[in-house]
Amino acid sequence: MKTILVTGSTDGIGKLTAIALAKNGNRILLHGRNPKKLEKTITELKEAANHEKIIGFVSDLSDFESIRHMVGEISKEVSAIDVLINNAGIYVSPNRVNSNQLDMRFAVNYFAPYLLTYGLIPLLEKSSAPRIINLSSAAQSPVSFNALMGKELLTEQKAYAQSKLALTMWSFYLAKTKKSLNVIAVNPGSLLNTKMAQEAFGQHWSPASKGVEILCDLALSDVYNQSSGQYFDNDKGSFGEAHPDAYDKGKITQLISETNKILGIRP
């Protein structure tokens, strides 16, 4: 049995992945922004998995203090985390920026998993084989540091693609600097049948199950024990190359430096 945290697990492939992992007998830590929706999902998972090893945590991932609070709550409840799946993400949002005046896509898709993971590293390092799965995307484009810092407004599409490349760059950095962690970035599949895809594009190319299967596989299979620092492209069904900037040491160093300043993290 593994203890697995899945962010954004009251909807879409996050919820379906959490259900599948729970049915395997794993202890699941759910995350949601809406308390009522989270409670409903907890009940659904307990019934589907036929066990009580389901805990829920509320946090608005666009709010950095809310993330820090959730880290504290998780630390009170569990002694170790085996797998962290940073699944939560947004494309369309009623708000362009968060309370820190940062683009919502950067806030939720990049800064949130960065801050959450940083806070949970002590729990992850207590696992015998900790694994972090970061949900990237086929949509990746060079990061504008002005946009990252909230000094430039981008279109939803550009901000989304840049936030996903930032996440991928950080994944590779984390894999290199934290050898104790197995960090894998994954494009779970383009335009899967999820609420986010429908809201953004009004269509889908593949069933949500395609993403669920690869996330469960990456989370549990021994096949990926030596895959840290790699990018899995589920459109191709194999590991592949991310955007060239994900391998640019200078750009990665600048990204991490600016990110730590924005989040108030001392490396």
Domain limits at 25?
3-263
What is the average per-residue pLDDT within 78-94?
94
pLDDT tens-digit readout, 17-50? 999 999 999 999 999 999 999 999 999 999 999 9
In the chain, how many domains are there?
Answer: 1
DSSP at 31: E
Which is nearest to 248 in space by CA: 161, 173, 160, 140? 173
Question: What integer is the mean pLDDT of 119-146?
Answer: 97
pLDDT of 132 higher than 60: yes
DSSP H/E element including 27: strand 27-32
- Measured between alpha carbons, how far is 168 from 162 in angstroms, rounded to an integer? 10
Confidence of residue 179 (pLDDT cuts 50, 70, 90): very high
pLDDT value at residue 248:
98
What's the confidence (pLDDT) of residue 203?
Answer: 41
- pLDDT, averaged across the chain: 92
Check which CATH number belongs to the domain holding 101 and give it.
Answer: 3.40.50.720
Report the candidate in 50, 54, 42 with the shortest Cα–Cα distance to residue 3: 54
